[in-house]
Structure 1
């Protein structure tokens, strides 16, 4: 039940979708006795579209998410496993073209492959199934594991977790596969902006992971003042950031995350699962 509800709420949580719905409602009302209200909604939707698309709002929302966890510093200690969250491939196009197709989150795959090659002792689990709601999008793990093999990782090190449709299922299903032991060191690879929500969910599931953020979208705080040159770029960035902030609140309110805004907690992130939960 949580998955379809989250998809529905997620649609309206995206500013671009909400603004367009607002404008369309306004257009419909303009043909009724509430025409004045309709005109107001249309004007409001145009103003909001400009703010969300051209202003620095998207970057301002994304910067604190990306700054929450510092880049990983390899101290040479052994790593038991690497968990790669899905979201870097486009499975429907990959299936149609019989090729691995990466999107703008490609570093989740490329950085994880480089990490795994540096640590040949680590198991590698890719977590991601078919997250589509209406149209079948194909399974992410199929093309993800194909890419990892092409990049030089032995097939025997690679484990697919191909059932998950969201971050909550990522944590639960991956933990069941990994069966992490106390003191083992597991790294979690995902986009920097997605790391706070991911860490909160994994902590709540009792799976101690160290953050390995990749795929930064901003240069830092200075981007919070930099407007976008195109409406599409700004809307995409605002949607990405707002999805995370709404997800953080919803996951925390529904008990699926350990904190409202998870941050570094060394006792948990260094393999002490007993300290991961609130």
Structure 2
């Protein structure tokens, strides 16, 4: 099994902010019961403070905004587009395959925009990239789960090729390149969530497959409207986890050579 993939899954489970503050709080309780009341209460207080800040404050919005604003939205026009790539992550494989119905999550805009772009560029090749994200690889395939959803949004399945090995963004890039073997100068769109676009574009560039970013699924309203307060701590924590995953992912991918720039940007801005 790939060591990087295994470590990224295991370590992130421990380090994800919502889990980390819980672990700190539990550790504080254990220390209190072991007799070190003051040290334990400090850890419990830190855990509660972390939960309040990450759960209710605008912190997550400020973390997400630079990621989402890094690349501009793609506006379809008269330019030639040779292909469109959709990265997995919008589907819910367990539900879709068990119930036999389309099932998507809050990243469903990826599928909607993919279909719209497919209609805007009827001659473009279409590719879906993704497989099971389960650590042991035994989970249901994203590619199998997404088929019904693509049919429902009007995609001609005869146009779609499926890359079914990629477990992470770096593999999305490498395996999709191997599948389509793009010609030099080919113009391919990459559809994924806006917060994920910098890392995804960086991965495709690193394997010699430059793509045009088509960010979707925005989680922030506007850079001038970030100071919102969440009414549910769970909502704020979800967004904090999301932002932290991308920033940590950028650093980890840069340090391991999976992207060439720490924070990839549009070519004209570099």
Fold match (TM-score > 0.5) = yes
Select between 201-210 and 8-17 the one with higher mean Cα deviation. Answer: 8-17
Kindly state the Cα deviation for residue 136 of structure 1 after the two structures are TM-superposed.
Answer: 4.3
Select between 237-246 and 141-150 the one with higher mean Cα deviation. Answer: 141-150
Moved over 4 A (4+): none
Say yes or no: does 1:192 pair with 2:194: yes
Superimposed CA distance per residue, residues 101-129 of structure 1 (whole angstroms, 9 cap, x where no aligned partner): 01000011111011001111111111110
Q: Counterparts of 1:35 and 1:8 in 2: how far apart (Å)?
A: 31
Q: Counterparts of 1:29 and 1:135 in 2: how far apart (Å)?
A: 37
Q: Counterparts of 2:179 and 2:137 in 1: how far apart (Å)?
A: 28
Correspondence list, 1:63-82, <5 A: 63-82=65-84
Kindly state the Cα deviation for residue 30 of structure 1 after the two structures are TM-superposed.
Answer: 1.3
Select between 52-61 and 215-224 the one with higher mean Cα deviation. Answer: 215-224
Any conservation in 2 of the 1:55–1:228 contact (CA below 8 Å)?
yes
Q: Counterparts of 1:220 and 1:118 in 2: how far apart (Å)?
A: 27
Superimposed CA distance per residue, residues 222-275 of structure 1 (whole angstroms, 9 cap, x where no aligned partner): 33211111101100111111110010111111111121011110499xxxxxxx
Q: Counterparts of 2:62 and 2:208 in 1: how far apart (Å)?
A: 32
Kindly state the Cα deviation for residue 28 of structure 1 after the two structures are TM-superposed.
Answer: 1.3
Kindly state the Cα deviation for residue 43 of structure 1 after the two structures are TM-superposed.
Answer: 1.2
Say yes or no: does 1:23 pair with 2:35: no
Q: Counterparts of 1:265 and 1:23 in 2: how far apart (Å)?
A: 44
Task: Tell me what 2:40 maps to.
Answer: 38
Q: Counterparts of 2:149 and 2:228 in 1: how far apart (Å)?
A: 35
Q: Counterparts of 1:215 and 1:56 in 2: how far apart (Å)?
A: 19
- The structure 1 residue matched to 2:54, chosen from 52, 65, 74, is 52
Task: Tell me what 1:173 maps to.
Answer: 175
Task: Tell me what 2:131 maps to.
Answer: 129
> Partner of 1:125: helix, strand, or coil?
strand
Say yes or no: does 1:250 pair with 2:252: yes
Task: Tell me what 2:209 maps to.
Answer: 207
Say yes or no: does 1:92 pair with 2:94: yes
Kindly state the Cα deviation for residue 156 of structure 1 after the two structures are TM-superposed.
Answer: 1.7
Q: Counterparts of 1:153 and 1:207 in 2: how far apart (Å)?
A: 25
- The structure 1 residue matched to 2:261, chosen from 259, 262, 268, is 259
> Partner of 1:221: helix, strand, or coil?
coil
Unaligned runs of 5+ in 2: none
- The structure 2 residue matched to 1:228, chosen from 227, 230, 235, is 230
Task: Tell me what 1:107 maps to.
Answer: 109
> Partner of 1:248: helix, strand, or coil?
helix
> Partner of 2:85: helix, strand, or coil?
strand
Cα RMSD between the aligned structures? 1.6
TM-score of the aligned structures, taking structure 2 as reference length: 0.95
